[in-house]
Amino acid sequence: MEQLDSINVLYSVSLFEPAQVILRSLIENIVGLEFILKDDTEKRAAAYYLEHHYQELDKSEIYFNEKSEYGKLIIDKIGKEEFDNVYKKLENKRKSLERFVKSKPVFHEIDIARKKKLDIKKKQNVKKKKVYIQWYEVCSDITSIYGLMKETGYEKYYDAIYGGLSFESHG
């Protein structure tokens, strides 16, 4: 609803390009929700929910590695002591997520499935340093937004609407 309100406000003042970026995201959210509700709802919802936490931890590993370029910049900016404090909080969050995943069988099952999919992709993409997967890949064979739109019956909108909005987002 907030995305739709944002689009309306931006359109009302003729700011079409920013509205298109939000519209693209809105379409992804609609298609994702349709996919979650279509089948295996508990697993799909768990994969969607956990993905945000995985991404947050993945990003924080990049930024809070004192040997990385980003880590060194952050240490220069906030100091080693504050950096270490943030790193401890990050480790607590990681442990908390591990406990949370183990607390419900569906989360544990999704975590295992995600690790397996990541291992398969790593073996396929040996040259890449970091391999990414989307949340919907964890609980299905779908590997793209096109596949997700096809699965949910929105395939006919992919080229005509989503493709144009993607051009604006990636342009």
pLDDT in tens, 53-63: 999 998 888 88
CA distance to 6, 31, 58, 126, per residue, from 130 (Å): 34, 26, 10, 10
What tens digit of pLDDT does each residue of 109-145 get? Answer: 999 999 999 999 888 887 777 788 899 999 999 999 9
Q: What is the mean pLDDT of the chain?
A: 90
Least confident of 5-9, 68-72, 153-157: 68-72
Q: Which pLDDT score, from 0 to 100, does residue 171 have?
A: 54
The Cα–Cα gap between 64 and 24 comes to 31
Q: Using pLDDT thresholds of 50, 70 and 90, give the confidence band for residue 168.
A: low
CA dihedral (148, 150, 153, 154) positive or negative = positive
Residue 163 has pLDDT above 60, yes or no: yes
C-alpha to C-alpha distance for 32 and 138, rounded to whole angstroms: 13
CB 50 within 8 A of CB 72: no
Quote the pLDDT of residue 48: 96
Pair 93, 61: CB distance under 8 Å = no
Q: Which of 59, 66, 99 is nearest to 85 (CA)?
A: 66
